[in-house]
Structure 1
């Protein structure tokens, strides 16, 4: 018996469903009737932060690198896969809750503070449960989950995180020749100590609000999303998403 999947996302079409059907994958009309949800594209993947799927999800054609699969590899990866084969491949990924004065937003990939105007820097302080980690002048600072660590965080010099290894805290274009990055557990607090121009709170790539001096951003993990660790294709080649 092949795995039954539901598709979440608008980046699909008849050709995608034909590939799945030809590979022996059974399509479900509802997520509640599926063994697995294919989250196609970043918008669909990030929607899991506020609207979790009732079953594990597999990112497809997203920016999460090795945590997902390429669109053209889905049929090969899932073809002939039995529901029992999903056991042991489900990995909980943290969802970050960003709270500013009671205004909350959730992100599956990353949360960032960035100076809104180009060629302007601000001063930031980062702290975890043990105290202040550091203060620095920079264009911004990003906190990434393992799922999001291959994206904006990695592009700015952050590490790639395996699942369940913590959060990456990375200054964005810091005004120093020896920038530091950190891997920490939640909670994390970001403070704007001095702003030369407005600073925006950006969650999963979307600007949510401006943050001023004396408005700490408190980040906690308040839930998890179950993602499927991609199985190898039938030919043994690891054709996963490019980093």
Structure 2
């Protein structure tokens, strides 16, 4: 938990939702402000969440960010008003989320959600080697591989069979459509090194869904956590399920 806040920035492209958030801030006794001087930032939609996290100052010096989007443990439209009130009262939990970095053509790119290695042509398999650290290496043939943060683990990585992660649990490494009857996904603490060993088609590097270049076969590409950004999470105040209460069971 943190201290109550009064100055809140609301960012995002969906004006209808942004307007709802601003009205909720005012009804809770707060006021909207610029992100540079706000005590909390409410980011509406995936693009706004990505931009707020990737654009944060190194070391998490900026105001904490509340993701507002319809997925994962972010705040959705149904609980929007209550969530804003919790932020204003200082009841939101402070949670650190990792930021990934990957290099391409001499440029370092930051990712809030995921970094993907994907063949340009659908259903064309390449061979990958992934150094997972601690003397572990995975080799597989697949359409691609995605490295996801907890915030991004509910998107492409989860669709490919990866786990849903909570903040602090690491980053997920998930093959995309592997050419095998048995597929694995891995969770590592800080980073991995990915190499394309053989490619029938060019393999693109995707950073939060945006194409950032072509991966050179045989040249290792490092994907690692380079920063951690403070975000906000609304505590679950749902009443306990009576069916899980032993006192209400026939076995008590």
Q: Shorter-chain TM-score: which interval? A: 0.7 to 0.9
Is 1:200 aligned with 2:208? no
- Using structure 1 for the length normalisation, give the TM-score: 0.86
Higher alpha-carbon Rg: 2
Q: 1:97 aligns with which of 93, 96, 101?
A: 101
Deviation, 1:186, is 2.0
- Superposed CA offset, 1:184-243 (max 9, x none): 12231000000010100011111111112022210111111111012347xx479xxxxx
Moved over 3 A (4+): 1-4, 80-84
Give the aligned partner of residue 141 of structure 1: 145
Shift of 1:17: 4.5
- Structure 1 unaligned blocks of 5 or more: 239-243
Choose between structure 1 and 2 for higher RCO, CA contacts under 8 A separated by at least 6 residues: 1
CA-CA distance at 1:72 after TM superposition: 3.8
Q: Does 1:9 align with 2:15?
A: no
Could you tell me which of 51, 55, 66 is aligned with 2:55? Answer: 51
Is residue 2:78 matched to residue 1:79? no
Residue aligning to 2:250: none
Partner SS, residue 184 of structure 2: coil
Which residue does 2:155 correspond to in 1?
151
In the comparison of the two structures, how many residue pairs are matched? 232
Shift of 1:22: 6.0
**1:72, 1:162 → 2: CA distance?**
22
Give distance in 2, aligned partners of 1:208 and 1:168: 20
Task: State the distance in 1 between where 2:24 and 2:84 align.
Answer: 8
CA distance, structure 2, for counterparts of residue 81 and residue 50 of structure 1: 22
Which residue of structure 2 lines up, in the alignment, with residue 229 of structure 1? 233
Q: Which runs of 5+ in 2 are unaligned?
A: 241-252
CA distance in 2, matches of 1:203, 1:138: 19
With structure 2 as the length reference, what TM-score do the two structures score? 0.83
Separation (CA, whole Å) in 2 of partners of 1:62 and 1:80? 18
